[in-house]
């Protein structure tokens, strides 16, 4: 998505460098992340040294400026450790926020918000989702409002499941500014009226800064805080949502591959009924189904990434990819757990952790059912528009 990147062939060297970096520098120490407070900083230094830091960020802000198609390979590799995307500064929500800022922010905003984000000096959050009856999967029900007050805006409302909120340097906030219109605002942490509440205790723990409740209580921001145009918040956010869905897929596919590799490492060693588990039919069809799900997910991600690079927007395609990949990733990790038996559900292997980490992916960023509903509606509309065979043609 970077304007610096020419879509096309992926630099194979880079992908290999990422694989090697994750295999040799990240995975061996990933279990130390909770005890070694210096680890992240050290690893980020190593990532910079290896030339794999900030793959999605524009080159003028120090990133690698990769196209979506190029990110497909690199982010998948980064995802083979839960820690990889964080270390390489291509984790959600920062990675998606960089894309958004790159395309929608003013030069001044980019300097102030994008530069530290790309450098890994700050974290950010995207504050859109609200508790019922507010905007969850249905943005039309947004209850957070922003009203003009002199030259400023006053924001009021409640958000939740705001990933990375605890410790974020700034928030991109979606607030209603008209009957059916919304506007995005850049709000610095510490702004009076903005408070970050509890971490919602979810089964995943892989996102720095948690999934938090955030309250805006007469939170005053200047007019320069508007990101993009007033009343164009939903349209502008699309620049982020489609690509962010897809980069999620890339990273989670990395997790799934790691699970598959751990399982292969187990089944080639474990004996059952006098054979290696790897050679028993009862295991082989699960192994094969994993390979099939990995190949299909990867093809769909790469094809959709190329489409995004070409067209800039591909909501139908990213909905399809997100739905398929989130479910495939769940199946892959589940089969890997199953084949590792009792160890699969114990914390002696990381698979049980992966199982909890990937489950919410079928819900976050639009539940599978909501995406299916959108996909069906678009399919029907396209069919009606053409009344030809071209409906499903890509």
244-273: contacts with a copy of itself (CB under 8 A): 257-258, 260-261, 264-265, 267-273
* Residue that has been written with the tokens 């700034």 in this structure: 170
For 197, the 3-state DSSP assignment is strand
**Out of 89, 129, 144, 177, which residue is the one contacting a copy of itself (CB under 8 A)?**
129
Binding flag, residue 320, a copy of itself (CB under 8 A) = yes
Taking the C-alpha atoms of residue 129 and residue 74, their distance in angstroms, rounded to an integer, is 29
CA distance 265 to 280: 15
Kindly state the smallest distance separating residue 3's Cβ from a copy of itself, in Å: 22
Contacts of 233 (CB under 8 A, 6+ apart): 174, 175, 177, 181, 182, 183, 184
Query: Considering only residues 2, 177, 323, 336, which one is a binding residue for a copy of itself as defined by CB under 8 A?
Result: 323
177 versus 323: smaller Cβ distance to a copy of itself: 323
CB of residue 361 vs a copy of itself: minimum separation in angstroms?
Answer: 10
Q: Are 255 and 329 in contact (CB under 8 A)?
A: yes
Of 153 and 266, the one with the shorter C-beta distance to a copy of itself is 266
Cβ-contact 168, 189 below 8 angstroms: yes
Using CB under 8 A as the binding rule, whether residue 310 contacts a copy of itself is answered as: no
Q: Does 376 bind a copy of itself (CB under 8 A)?
A: yes
In terms of C-beta density within 10 A (0-12 exposed, 13-18 middle, 19 or more buried), how is residue 288 classed?
A: exposed
Per CB under 8 A, which region of 41-49, 53-61, 221-229, 383-391 contacts a copy of itself?
Answer: 383-391
Q: Does 367 bind a copy of itself (CB under 8 A)?
A: yes
Of the candidates 324, 329, 336, 350, which one interacts with a copy of itself according to CB under 8 A? 324
Report yes or no: 71 and 95 within 8 Å, Cβ to Cβ: no
Residues from 37 through 96 that contact a copy of itself (CB under 8 A): 80
Site string for a copy of itself, 203-222 (x = CB under 8 A): xx------x-----------
Cα 307 from Cα 168, distance rounded (Å): 32
Sites for a copy of itself among residues 12-41 (CB under 8 A): 19, 22-23, 27
Q: How far apart are the two ends of the chain, measured CA to CA in Å?
A: 20
Q: How far is the CB of 187 from a copy of itself (least distance, A)?
A: 22
What residues between 151 and 190 interact with a copy of itself by CB under 8 A? 160-161
Based on the shown chain and the rule CB under 8 A, indicate whether residue 345 belongs to the binding site for a copy of itself.
yes
The only residue of 289, 312, 313, 315 in contact with a copy of itself, by rule CB under 8 A: 289
CA distances from 30 to 263, 320, 339, 380 (A): 18, 32, 23, 46
Residue 107 makes CB contacts below 8 A (sequence gap 6+) with: none
The DSSP 8-state label assigned to residue 305 in this structure reads H
The site that binds a copy of itself (CB under 8 A) totals a number of residues, namely: 103
Q: Which is nearer to a copy of itself, 228 or 242 (CB)?
A: 242
Stretch that binds a copy of itself, among 94-102, 106-114, 234-242, 290-298 (CB under 8 A): 290-298
* Joined tokens for residue 272: 């059952």
Integer CA distances (angstroms), 73 to 78, 178, 251, 277, in order = 9, 41, 9, 31
- Is the CB of 31 or the CB of 269 nearer to a copy of itself? 269
The DSSP bridge pattern shows strands 124-127 and 152-163 to be unpaired
Cross-strand bridge partners of residue 216 = 157, 194
Binding residue (CB under 8 A) for a copy of itself from 133, 150, 151, 192 = 133
Nearer to a copy of itself (CB atom), residue 58 or residue 344: 344
122 exposed, middle or buried (CB, 10 Å; 0-12, 13-18, 19+)? middle
- Interface with a copy of itself includes 107 (CB under 8 A)? no
């Amino acid at each position: 998505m970077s304007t610096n990147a020419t879509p096309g062939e992926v630099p194979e060297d880079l992908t290999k460098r990422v694989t090697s970096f994750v295999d040799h520098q990240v995975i061996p120490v990933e279990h130390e992340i909770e005890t070694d407070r210096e680890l992240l900083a050290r690893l980020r230094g190593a990532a910079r040294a290896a030339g794999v830091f900030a793959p999605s960020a524009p080159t003028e802000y120090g990133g690698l400026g990769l196209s979506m198609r190029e990110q497909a390979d690199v982010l998948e590799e980064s995802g083979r450790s839960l820690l990889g995307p964080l270390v390489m500064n291509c984790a959600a929500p920062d990675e998606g926020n960089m894309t958004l800022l790159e395309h929608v922010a003013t030069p001044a905003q980019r300097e102030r918000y994008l530069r530290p984000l790309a450098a890994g000096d700050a974290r950010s959050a995207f504050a859109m989702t609200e508790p019922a009856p507010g905007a969850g999967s249905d943005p039309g029900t947004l209850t957070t409002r922003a009203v003009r007050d002199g030259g400023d805006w006053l924001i009021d409302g409640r958000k939740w499941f705001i990933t990375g909120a605890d410790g974020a340097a700034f928030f991109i906030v979606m607030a209603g500014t008209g009957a059916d219109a919304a506007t995005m605002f850049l709000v610095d942490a510490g702004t009076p009226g903005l408070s970050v509440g509890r971490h919602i205790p979810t089964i995943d723990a892989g996102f720095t800064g948690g999934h938090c409740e955030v309250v805006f209580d007469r939170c005053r921001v200047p007019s320069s805080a508007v990101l993009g145009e007033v009343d164009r918040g939903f349209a502008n956010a699309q620049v982020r949502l489609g690509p962010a869905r897809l980069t999620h897929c890339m990273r989670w596919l990395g997790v799934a591959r790691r699970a598959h590799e751990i399982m292969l490492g187990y089944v080639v060693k474990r004996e059952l009924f006098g054979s290696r588990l790897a050679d028993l039919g009862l295991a082989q069809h699960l192994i094969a189904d994993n390979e099939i799900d990995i190949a299909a997910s990867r093809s769909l991600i790469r094809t959709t990434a190329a489409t995004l690079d070409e067209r800039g927007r591909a909501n139908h395609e990213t909905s399809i990819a997100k739905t398929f990949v989130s479910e495939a990733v769940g199946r892959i990790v589940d089969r890997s757990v199953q084949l590792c038996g009792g160890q699969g559900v114990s914390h002696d292997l990381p698979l049980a952790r992966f199982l909890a980490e990937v489950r919410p992916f079928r819900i976050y960023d639009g539940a599978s059912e909501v995406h299916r509903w959108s996909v069906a509606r678009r399919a029907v509309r396209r069919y009606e528009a053409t009344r030809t065979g071209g409906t499903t043609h890509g």
